[in-house]
Amino acid sequence: MAFPGDVYVSNCSARDALELISGKWVMLILPAIARQPMRNGELLRRIDGISQKVLTQTLRRLERNGLIERLDFAEKPAHVEYRLTAVACSLVDTLAALDRWAEHNFPQLDAARELYDARQLRQSAGSGE
């Protein structure tokens, strides 16, 4: 019998939460904002490789799902900052632990990928493909 919040049940909304927070940009944006509220340009400089379009789309998704707040200071020029909500604050330590795990273990993952690819290449060559 399923209970509310059972991610193994196909129609559980918790799956939507997992999909939202598992994206690489979300995993980088939330910890960045956790340190202090940030403006759009600050986030672009902090998160190497993200485009303005993807940053804007991701910030909107996070705001829609209640993980960040958009603070518009109604100034000229425009001054908008993003900060975490209470529910996002409860998530940041978990994301930071995942970041540390990735930073610590990427060499083993890189080596395993190279070994696997080399093995696949040898098998391909051996089968005459």
Residue 2 located in a structural domain = no
Residue 20 located in a structural domain = yes
Residue 83 and residue 68 in contact, taking contact as beta carbons nearer than 8 Å: yes
pLDDT, tens only, 7-52: 888 888 899 999 999 999 999 999 999 989 999 999 999 999 999 9
Number of domains in the chain: 1
Task: Give the structural domain span for 21.
Answer: 14-126
- The CATH number assigned to the domain holding 60 equals 1.10.10.10
Residue 119 located in a structural domain = yes
* Whole-number Å distance between alpha carbons of 108 and 104: 9
How many CB atoms neighbour CB 19 within 10 A?
Answer: 10
Residue 38 carries which side chain, given as an amino acid letter? M
Would the CA dihedral through 22, 28, 29, 34 be positive or negative?
positive
Q: Report the relative pairing of strands 38-39 and 68-72 from DSSP bridges.
A: unpaired
pLDDT, tens only, 84-102: 999 999 999 999 899 899 9
> Using omega within 30 degrees of 0 as the cis cutoff, is the peptide bond preceding 77 cis?
yes
* Whole-number Å distance between alpha carbons of 52 and 126: 46
What's the predicted TM-score (pTM) here? 0.82
